[in-house]
Chain A
């Protein structure tokens, strides 16, 4: 379909080199974790299952249905595969799809691969899986939960795309974000329809796949909720009050601020990213980079802590 093509796969030239590098780093970390998690989960089956399901997503995207005026809709697939396989396996499947599409068909750029993977291959499965599994408990209606989850994955991926373009200065946020959200609110309905109907088919023919193939990923809910909240805060931060924080305010009033010294090294001076000139955008960018770094460190600490725990238990 025309619309997801223009909206989702970012070509090279639209992201600046530093922004693209951030995407590559985040992608490498998450895919590294996903590789280890799925090997744990699937063992020897990891390679054939992941590879063939990646080919499945690619083929499923060819199944389109006429919408109107010659346009047609098709699946993106992040939510469906996230619901069916759990988030980590879905990350691996979708990453493979996005990478092979970029290399073989120039669908999305090579430098932009990091953020394309994040949008369609990381955010979508995590949001899809988490929203689905939480809503299933609340609503008691699996298909309704799947519909909402699928719609949300498209919206969040679109918002993330608009944000990345804006940070790169290749698309104005105040125009692009409403436009992207508007188009994708509609595309998301198509995604929801297809996802629900595919799940209904699978439930009728192979209900065992739904039960066995969804491992409950420990902590994935927290990861998703945390990431989404953090991104929202990062979004909203430039809109917030520009007054400095409490301590700085007191320091200013009592006139001892000038005695303070800058940290010996500053990667993001005053929460701005040096190469972005627009004030609001640079704060957003700095916020997101900070969030991701903190999340990465937190994850690492938690891992080490858990390893120590298991060692002390044995």
Chain B
């Protein structure tokens, strides 16, 4: 992820507030697109593709990574059979309908496009920029600062978790041919103890961090540097994808009449 954040494309230089707004507008627009408006989907993807290209992220790479949420489609699959409509084929006594299939495909396309929009935001914006963008978009400051703290300690505690996992694997050496480890319940309890261990370490770390903060004059308030003013350049470039999706949505409205 960090590899892409360090880039220097026009999209990387765009104001983070504008990028957050573009992302939300894009996702709302994807979700609002009716299932039958098939021609709209390639157009919407073209917007995503051009953003990925503008960010020098690789259109194909973003498209592939956009598929992370697809396992969730299991939740939508039964719709193929429960939606009434033109029968398509019958499996085990339940009938699939064309309408049902269309609905599921539309849901998957929307999900795929939305994940790509979120990916482009994350891949072109450093997390710290994202945080001040959130504060200037009226997300409570305390919550944003807590998110910043989580990000700061995320990697430290993940390393801690990896050390616990490595210690477990070194304890769990297995002779070839013999059965490894205890039963399922035992394995669950071992994982639980490791998590208890990690909690105690994290809690104690938070104590140390807090005293270190106090030693540096912390009084319960955190300061965030003021965001730079919005430039006209940012506004103009930021308006482009938004205008594009609005035009696409208007086209959809016109078709459906």
Contacts and interface: CB of A to CB of B under 8 A. Distances in A.
Interface string A169-195: 011101110000000000000100111
A63 B190 CA distance: 10
Contacts of B38: none
B197 A201 contact: yes
B153 interface: yes
A52 interface: yes
Interface string B136-158: 00001011011111111110111
10 contacts: A14-B75, A35-B143, A50-B149, A55-B152, A55-B157, A60-B198, A63-B191, A171-B78, A194-B188, A197-B196
A301 B140 CA distance: 23
B152 A53 contact: no
A109 B31 CA distance: 11
Contacts of A45: 206, 210
Given A6-B75, A75-B195, A176-B78, A52 B115 contact: no
B27 interface: yes
Nearest to A95: B143
Contacts of B1: 104
Contacts of B158: 58-59, 62
B224 interface: no
A5 B150 CA distance: 21
Contacts of B114: 11-13, 109-111
Interface in A46-89: 46-56, 58-60, 62-68, 73-75, 80, 84
B155 to A, nearest CB: 8
Q: Lowest 5 A-B CB distances belong to which pairs?
A: A51-B149, A197-B192, A201-B196, A13-B111, A12-B114
A45 B213 CA distance: 10
Interface stretch (B46-54, B66-74, B231-239): B66-74
Nearest to A108: B69
Interface stretch (B6-14, B85-93, B160-168, B241-249): B160-168
A303 interface: no
Interface in B178-195: 181, 184-185, 187-195
A286 interface: no
A196 B192 contact: yes
B195 A194 contact: yes
Interface string A88-111: 000010011101101110100111
- SS of A interface (majority): helix
A49 B206 contact: yes
Contacts of B220: 43-44
B76 interface: yes
Interface string B105-131: 001111111110011011000010010
Given A193-B188, A200-B196, 6 more contacts: A11-B111, A13-B110, A17-B28, A52-B206, A55-B151, A63-B164
Contacts of A102: 118
Given A12-B27, A14-B72, A17-B32, A47 B192 contact: no
Interface residues of B, number: 84
B101 interface: no
A206 B207 CA distance: 14
B37 to A, nearest CB: 14
B249 to A, nearest CB: 12
A190 B187 CA distance: 10
A51 to B, nearest CB: 2
B72 A6 contact: yes
A96 B74 contact: no
A32 B213 contact: no
A157 interface: no
B174 to A, nearest CB: 12
Nearest to B100: A172
Interface string A25-54: 000000110010001000111111111111
